[in-house]
Structure 1
Amino acid sequence: MQLSEKPVKEINFQQLFSLNRTIAVVGLSAKSTRPSYEVASSMQAYGYKIIPVNPMLAGTYILGEYCYATLNDAAAALWVEGIGIDIVDCFRKSADIPPIADAAIAIGAKVLWMQMGINNESAAAKARTAGLQVVMDRCIKVDAAIYLNRRTQ
């Protein structure tokens, strides 16, 4: 089974990708060779707004977008512009996910996405209880490409 074929309970990817257009990428690197950069760049090319979140790079620009230290900082700045964060895409260790999930809940995100190799059941359960859709151990770039390809056929 390929990673993109892992089952996800009760997720309608067609709706997820068509209704949610703003993605905060937590742990986004400025290095073009890093997976986080490649994924964010692809999502941006697919037409999604990318919001970099990385405390080590806060105040810089990645992929032409201002980088914030925290999700809360990003949400507050975007709120002034009338923009909300729809998807929180995590490029952090599984153990680092609980505070990210808490922040995703607090800012009103709709989706908590943990990239391939990232799983945290307790954070996922908390996010689901708060009404977020949760995806774990999957690549958003791969799933978006599959959805976008199907949509254009």
Structure 2
Amino acid sequence: MYAEPGIIRKIIEETGGTWALVGLSSNRQRAAHGVAEVLRRHGKRVVPVHPKAEEVHGERGYARLADIPFPVDVVDVFVNSDLAGAVADEAVAIGARAVWFQLGVVDEAAYERTRAAGLDMVMDRCPAIELGSLRVRGAGEAGGAS
């Protein structure tokens, strides 16, 4: 398990509303596109980060995290595991509050570096799936949805 207890809920519900999706392009067939739609429906600002710097869902794209001219709360990573560590290091460098590696993206050394830098981190999970799970679990809890 690549998330400490409560970290998933904290990132989704408390960390902030600006998510940079590294690997998000205008290609609707890619998983990042669908996850971006789910995050947007849940009130998150989704910023595409892709070498092509394409606009997606009406949001300007950027080629690199360092090019984004405003604060980013969460960096969601849709790149191969061998490239993900460098993205996590960039997230630390830009002052992000959390890093999320998508399903299948695993780099244990990057996980340790990112946590050691003080960022929350989740690895090998999907926020779209977790949002659905949180809603289901939250509905049955005291103080859940009315």
Give the TM bin, normalised by the shorter chain: 0.7 to 0.9
Q: 2: distance between equivalents of 1:37 and 1:111?
A: 20
Query: Structure 1 vs Structure 2: percent identity of aligned residues?
Result: 33
Q: Which amino acid aligns with 2:145?
A: T
Q: 2: distance between equivalents of 1:111 and 1:97?
A: 14
Structure 1 spans left out of the alignment, 5+ residues? 1-5, 79-83
Residue aligning to 2:83:
96
Residue aligning to 1:109:
96
State the Cα deviation string for residues 98-134 of structure 1 (Å, max 9, x = none).
2101110011111110000110011111100000111
Please point out which of 30, 33, 40 is paired with 2:36.
Answer: 40
Q: Does 1:152 align with 2:145?
A: yes
Secondary structure class of the residue paired with 1:109: coil
Q: Which amino acid aligns with 1:38?
A: G
Residue aligning to 2:74:
87
Aligned residues: 139
If the length of structure 1 is used for normalisation, what is the TM-score? 0.84
State the Cα deviation string for residues 2-22 of structure 1 (Å, max 9, x = none).
xxxx56224433322222211
Q: Does 1:122 align with 2:109?
A: yes
Structure 2 spans left out of the alignment, 5+ residues? 139-143
**8 Å CA contact retained: 1:11, 1:133:** no
Residue aligning to 2:13:
18
**8 Å CA contact retained: 1:54, 1:69:** yes
Q: 2: distance between equivalents of 1:35 and 1:119?
A: 17
If the length of structure 2 is used for normalisation, what is the TM-score? 0.88
